[in-house]
Chain A
């Protein structure tokens, strides 16, 4: 009975996502004659979806399993480069690799987008195991420092392995395959997979490790195996997110994958609530949207005779202030470790109505 209720919700989520895609595509392509993936709005929705994938996957390790990892950007880089190298045509690769030619099997190899994306996830996943086996023996801050270091190593290797990655010049002309179906599809798939994982006995084991390692061990839970599993799944989706990003931007270089990228995803996780999947979805969407929306404050405004000059970078100030307020008002993030549910919404609405009624009574 409980399971069927879960599935009902999954279906509703799928329908809503499909509706958004159909609406956005139909609306903008049909009414404005703009191809879907090019328009500004659609691009923001794409970014929201990709950031959702990234935030959800980081939340699995940092929020649910309680392991403070800062290596997300490294795994995204691996995914992005894998996708780029596998989807670019031989001719496009020859154009880009004019300094040092690309090594042979990769030069001719071109795969369709879906297998490339899955391989991107797997490459990131396998590397996460290589990183995780030594690093996951550490705890807390030390794990954070170690994973951060590994991410930097991955980036530096990419920057210097010129015959594979074209080094600091980066890759250009990556086929722009990604559209809303891909990004939202990945986001929904990632959400559903993680949600089912979290509510399984594996999910309980992950959470027990976060809560108390000694007690988890005393329950017969293999700490290392579970940490590694969470790390693998998280990195897989980071790789997929990186791949989607590469195809959306059509150009990537090593500088993109520096530490601030990890920090941006971590910010979404903390803002949404460590240990809340719906929190990550909400905050990834809000943060992405806000970063674009706040561009308004940087423009020059004319109010009659008064001219307010635009200040570049002002949106970051406003964004930071918003963050400070959220942290003050919601120290555990917007959702804490709770999930958004129909029940919860009903209760919230009821409380809201009651507050309005009380206000009405007191004023009359």
Chain B
């Protein structure tokens, strides 16, 4: 289980995250929703070691991993799918995937993992020697997902997997995320597409200016009036 206790993160004078506590139990899908600048990405990047927190603790299975460098976080089984995909454009699909398994040393296991990822995303197998920069947006997102899976993580952090994708592809990506979860991964998901995220998630937290303002099961939040008005765009428009 991944647990975050009273996390504070700042960019200089700007306090992006001001005391967030949340739990990501094994085998569950947890969603973080909220508007731009609510601190969602900051939280994720702090968990994955790309940012250092000011205060607060991050525990993985009871072990304190706060402030560890990114490479040690990956080694402990937390992988991230960065926002905006961040594939390596001038490397081939195969090279991108192999980089995902960079921290793994057992060649046979990596080969098996590669096969698994190719089975999950047949499109990537077809395009394995193509440069990642020439893939379409949806394919790049699949590559980013596959690359994160290559590390065989316990917990997968996803930052806006549906960002900038056509509605049909958004559905496809979400069904793939569901399949990844069914294979036993624990997921922490950030989404602006609140409806899709809440439908998928077991439990969700709503962030606003660096604080958690609401939490509940996905189903609960879907019918909550405030959530419906602000994040799902239903009913009257708030002035």
Contacts and interface: CB of A to CB of B under 8 A. Distances in A.
Residue among A201, A208, A215, A220 with most chain B CB within 10 A? A220
A216 B82 CA distance: 11
Interface string A192-206: 000000000100110
B90 A207 contact: yes
Range of interface residues on B (Cβ < 8 Å): 20 to 34
B88 A201 contact: no
Interface in A205-250: 205, 207-208, 210-212, 214-222
Nearest to B133: A211
A275 B88 CA distance: 14
A337 interface: yes
Interface in B89-127: 89-91, 95, 98-100, 102-103
Nearest to A209: B88
A208 B132 CA distance: 12
B98 A201 contact: yes
Residue among B70, B75, B82 with most chain A CB within 10 A? B70
Given A205-B102, A208-B99, A215-B82, A220 B88 contact: no
B87 A219 contact: no
A218 B50 contact: yes
Nearest to B89: A211
A214 B44 CA distance: 13
A208 B97 CA distance: 11
For the complex, would chain A's binding face be called helix, strand, loop or mixed by DSSP majority?
helix
Contact of B86 (A214, A221, A222): A214
B70 A211 contact: no
B71 A222 contact: yes
Contacts of A275: 90
Given A201-B102, A204-B98, A207-B95, A218 B74 contact: yes
Contacts of A205: 99, 102
Contacts of A214: 50, 82, 86
A214 B87 CA distance: 10
Contact of B151 (A211, A217, A220): A220
Interface in B46-94: 48-50, 69-71, 73-75, 79-80, 82, 86-91
A215 B88 contact: yes
Contact of B91 (A211, A218, A221): A211
Nearest to B87: A215
B185 interface: no
B156 to A, nearest CB: 12
A208 B91 contact: yes
Interface string A107-129: 00000000000000000000000
A344 to B, nearest CB: 14
Nearest to B96: A208
A219 B69 CA distance: 12
Given A215-B82, A219-B151, A220-B103, A207 B88 contact: yes
Residue among A207, A215, A275, A337 with most chain B CB within 10 A? A215
Contacts of A217: 49-50, 70-71
B147 interface: yes
A204 B95 contact: yes
Contacts of A210: 90
A219 B100 contact: yes
Residue among B74, B98, B99, B103 with most chain A CB within 10 A? B99
13 contacts: A204-B102, A207-B90, A207-B95, A210-B90, A212-B88, A214-B50, A215-B87, A216-B99, A217-B50, A218-B79, A218-B86, A222-B71, A275-B90
